[in-house]
Chain A
């Protein structure tokens, strides 16, 4: 019988840099800023931290990627990597170590310095033989949009309008967030008419490519109130990794992400959630592209299969809607420094629970969900975390 992480670990401090094209900040600056904020917020010092997990995809190797900039004094530091889901993986490592009773106080950090590459999009990830088809990440996800439109009979303009509403909502939220990368409101027309990056996805269907770092201080649940009166408790931490057969056999429909669906089911079971749509108060999902958010709403059972459009049209996921999604702007507007994103999602939920989200504040949230996805729709590792008071 598998155990459960529910209510064993609490977050008592968090920090997050502003995300963006931070030309004058190096990886060390980002790490130090996020970690300092998290430590201060928790009211602890680095010497109190017993072990550290750090998630980054492109910006460092080994534990030294964190110990070096912070000159950590011989602490156990583990670098984890699970593609774009690396940030949540750092939290998971720290949380599990605490739940195992090995440590009382751990630090989880995610960071990425993407904008030193001089490129559009992400640095390269190729196979050894260099026979991979030519495709960008927008292209990989665009194929899901093409399929979604075709399967559910959406004309290109209908499909693009549905996706545009997702981006408009995230921009509305990101506009309210001083730490967001992209702070600008958009209209549906602007999104639909933006230059095509990879058909049918346009510029505003794609998330920001950003620099940034985020950090969390975790402790045992029974110790949490020694540090602060309003800790946030971990209710579920689940990941699911793909066998990547969706690109080999004709069974995969390419209109959903099976790993997200399964990670969601496992997380709801771990947290004791029966009706996600009703019980989840808010969610930060991995909206690397608008289509990803659309199918994720269905994968997480917020919307019935093939019917997310109705909920988008009804404003369900807007900040004032029934189930606000991306209250901080999401990857779309807060930005996506790969290794930092999973922890950034938690940062927003943490602020919301503590009533510190300013103009984005959601009224008395009970449970929040993060969905962090690494790799392509047919090959991902998806992590779903649920946190609450």
Chain B
């Protein structure tokens, strides 16, 4: 949404550019999964030894989100998982912890995800400047494109921004004090400390990549004061104008942007800020030339749907009470049923019949998941597991349902025929209702579908396959 839409709603000043807003069915978990799927692409998720989920906007105070993601991403049961939370530098902290784990020999590969959907209170500047985004970085020992050669962290207690256990919106102290005493001192201290530790100076780096403050104008000054030339600085402006300040994901996103343009032999100074700072030295390797990103940053910046009005934002974030639809209330979530079908629901696992070879996924059943009897040849329990999560399909038929109670009407429901076989009904998300047609190519995306008594039900939806995908 363009930031001026916020200003039009409340009056006052509009920050330039637009900000990313998670769809109504997205949260930090689903966006982290999307980033992780893009990152893992052709890597075998069964070989990943651990998953860290960095966020300040976990849907749970008590329940591990990386455990949900581990099933969704098909990680091994003995892959270590942890949610790294409450600090805006959780993303870089997770990166440091993962690097340490690999260095210690505890793991060979760690998937680090950082994702945030922070809320600024309506009418405030944070509402305009924050953005929803996620990043994922896979650390390992083989075919590395950038080596983490040194890490330095400092801790600082200053509460520049905070949210208590009951706060919905970000609180902050006067920005002048935060910038002068916090950001502008703590971040340089960590970066200078690291350079000193390594015996390196600003001229030894091709690029310096670090978190901007919410008022991004102060970003450049830190680099200058540290002795970097403007040409060395990874400018956060492009991300700020199209995404916004993305919490724990911001520094990782900037690092990804820098790596997408990096050349072999380059050295990068990278740092994340929040209750202190983490700083890293990265050495870009020859492998970067052969590395094929799946979609990359530009794809996600390009593929968007512009929100035209502020009411949609309020509705999606559930910030105003709404007249309920005159439709049946959903029944309560059954934890036991969801647990029993966790692989089917969270991992989108179906079956492929060993006798007739037909792939099948069952999500519309009252009582038939997991599939025990083949729908084609009636073979019983003679199947191989078959995952539909990464598969594409085409729309066999659809409707635009105005009666169904949804946050983004109409409910676009599609009957998807999967490449390689199998068919199932799914909600279609991230779509313009007008673009939906028979034969439209789609891919699968992990979303939240239901919230009940503190429990979020995640499941998969279809979304149109976009150009560049």
Asked if residues A131 and B363 are in contact (CB atoms below 8 Å), the reply is: yes
Asked if residues A129 and B397 are in contact (CB atoms below 8 Å), the reply is: no
18 A-B pairs with C-beta separation under 8 A: A124-B330, A126-B328, A126-B330, A131-B345, A133-B425, A133-B427, A133-B461, A138-B401, A138-B403, A140-B399, A142-B401, A143-B397, A143-B399, A143-B413, A196-B400, A199-B410, A247-B425, A250-B422
Asked whether A274 is an interface residue with its Cβ less than 8 Å from the other chain, the reply is no
Asked whether B452 is an interface residue with its Cβ less than 8 Å from the other chain, the reply is yes
Asked if residues A129 and B345 are in contact (CB atoms below 8 Å), the reply is: yes
The minimal Cβ–Cβ distance linking A119 to chain B, given in whole angstroms, is: 5
Select from chain B the residue with minimum beta-carbon distance to A123.
B328
Select from chain A the residue with minimum beta-carbon distance to B425.
A133
Asked whether B402 is an interface residue with its Cβ less than 8 Å from the other chain, the reply is yes
Asked if residues B404 and A134 are in contact (CB atoms below 8 Å), the reply is: yes
Asked if residues A134 and B427 are in contact (CB atoms below 8 Å), the reply is: yes
Asked whether B175 is an interface residue with its Cβ less than 8 Å from the other chain, the reply is no
The minimal Cβ–Cβ distance linking A309 to chain B, given in whole angstroms, is: 19
Task: Pick from B183-191, B231-239, B262-270, B354-362 the stretch touching chain A.
Answer: B354-362
Query: Interface residues of A, CB < 8 Å — how many?
Result: 47
Asked whether A364 is an interface residue with its Cβ less than 8 Å from the other chain, the reply is no
Asked whether B64 is an interface residue with its Cβ less than 8 Å from the other chain, the reply is no
Asked if residues B333 and A130 are in contact (CB atoms below 8 Å), the reply is: yes
Select from chain A the residue with minimum beta-carbon distance to B400.
A199
Asked if residues B404 and A248 are in contact (CB atoms below 8 Å), the reply is: no
A132-B329 CB under 8 A given contacts A139-B401, A250-B421: no
Select from chain B the residue with minimum beta-carbon distance to A375.
B366
A245 / chain B contacts, CB cutoff of 8 Å: 375-376
A198-B331 CB under 8 A given contacts A128-B337, A249-B421, A250-B421: no
Interface centre among A122, A127, A195 (most CB of B within 10 A): A127
A198-B396 CB under 8 A given contacts A120-B326, A123-B328: no
Asked if residues A250 and B417 are in contact (CB atoms below 8 Å), the reply is: yes
Query: Interface residues of B, CB < 8 Å — how many?
Result: 55
A118 to B327, CA, bound (A): 8
Asked whether A135 is an interface residue with its Cβ less than 8 Å from the other chain, the reply is yes
Asked whether A50 is an interface residue with its Cβ less than 8 Å from the other chain, the reply is no
Asked if residues A132 and B333 are in contact (CB atoms below 8 Å), the reply is: no
A48 to B144, CA, bound (A): 87
A136 to B363, CA, bound (A): 16
B406 / chain A contacts, CB cutoff of 8 Å: 134
B399 / chain A contacts, CB cutoff of 8 Å: 135, 138-140, 142-143, 146, 198-201
Q: Which of B328, B403, B438 is A146 in contact with, Cβ under 8 Å?
A: B438
B413 / chain A contacts, CB cutoff of 8 Å: 133-135, 139, 143
Q: Which residues of B (218-264) have their CB < 8 Å from a CB of A?
A: none
A130 / chain B contacts, CB cutoff of 8 Å: 330-331, 333-334, 338, 449-450, 452, 457
A125 to B327, CA, bound (A): 11
The minimal Cβ–Cβ distance linking A159 to chain B, given in whole angstroms, is: 13
B365 / chain A contacts, CB cutoff of 8 Å: 127, 244
A125 / chain B contacts, CB cutoff of 8 Å: 366
Q: Which of B358, B402, B426 is A196 in contact with, Cβ under 8 Å?
A: B402
Q: Which of A126, A139, A200, A254 is B331 in contact with, Cβ under 8 Å?
A: A126
Asked if residues B423 and A124 are in contact (CB atoms below 8 Å), the reply is: no
Asked if residues A249 and B363 are in contact (CB atoms below 8 Å), the reply is: no
Asked whether B415 is an interface residue with its Cβ less than 8 Å from the other chain, the reply is yes
Asked if residues A249 and B403 are in contact (CB atoms below 8 Å), the reply is: no
